Amino acid sequence: MGIPVKPMLIIKQLHNTQEDNDQDKRWVNGFDNNINFRCLTRQTIYRIVSQHNNHHEDRQWDFECKDTFSEWPTCDWTNYVNDFDGEFSFTCPFDSFISGMASYHNNHHEDRRWKYYCCQAKNVCKSYCQWTSYLNGFDGYFKWIVPDSFYLTGVSSYHNNHHEDRRWRYQYCTMQQC
C-alpha cells in the first residue's frame, strides 16, 4: 500500500533551441567519460536528466540535489551493481537514500557499469516506496524529478545491444522516523 503519487516526467524531442544549448553546459560527463557525482552532505539526488547520442552510443547525465537530512548521515559507495549489457535492479540498503552516482563507459560493449552513493541517517526509515515506469525509450531524452516529500532510493535498468542504450526506472520513498 502506498500513497498514490505520479512522478513528474518530461519527455521531449531535441531541437536546436536555446534551452537545449543551455542544458548542454550542465552535463556532468562527456560522452565515453567517467561519471563521479555526489551531492553535498545532507542532500540526495532529486532531478535526473539524460540524453543519448547514437554516434557515441553513450548518454550524458545531469543530476541535481535537494536538502534531505537534518543531521549528518552515514554514507558509503556500493560496489558496481551491473555487468556490461546486463539488467539490474538496485535499492540502497538499510533505509538509505541515493546521494551520488558513478559509472564508467566501455566502447567495446557500448555500455556503462554503475555504482551508487547511499546515505542513511539515524532513526530514519523508508516508507511508501514505489517504482516509476520506464522513463525513456531507447535513444531518447528524459528528465525526471522525484515527487515532493519523496526521496530517491533505487535504480533499475536493462540494456539493448541493437540500440546500444538502456531504459531506466527509479524507486522513490517517503521518509519517516523509526
User: Predicted confidence band at 110 (pLDDT cuts at 50, 70, 90)?
Assistant: very high
Mean pLDDT of 64-82: 97
| C-beta separation of 68 from 44 below 8 A | yes
Cell digits for 16?
536546436
Phi, psi of 18 (to 5 degrees): -60, -35
Per-residue pLDDT, averaged over 103-115, amounts to 98
- Name the band, by pLDDT with cuts 50, 70 and 90, for residue 93: very high
With 50 as the cut, is the pLDDT of residue 15 above it?
no
Where are the extended beta strands (E) located within the chain? 8-10, 35-38, 43-53, 58-67, 74-77, 88-91, 97-106, 111-120, 124-131, 142-145, 151-160, 165-177
Task: Check residue 163 and give its pLDDT.
Answer: 98
Dist CA 158 CA 170 (whole Å): 12
Q: Report pLDDT for 91.
A: 98
pLDDT for 36 beyond 50:
yes
Rounded to whole angstroms, the Cα distance separating 110 from 127 reads 36
Report percent pLDDT > 70 for the chain: 86
Q: List pLDDT tens digits, range 115-173.
A: 999 999 999 999 999 999 999 999 999 999 999 999 999 999 999 999 999 999 999 99
pLDDT at 26: 85
User: For residue 60, how many other CB atoms are within 10 A of its CB?
Assistant: 21
pLDDT greater at residue 133 or residue 11: 133
**Residue-averaged pLDDT of the chain:** 89
Indicate whether 178 pLDDT > 80.
Answer: yes
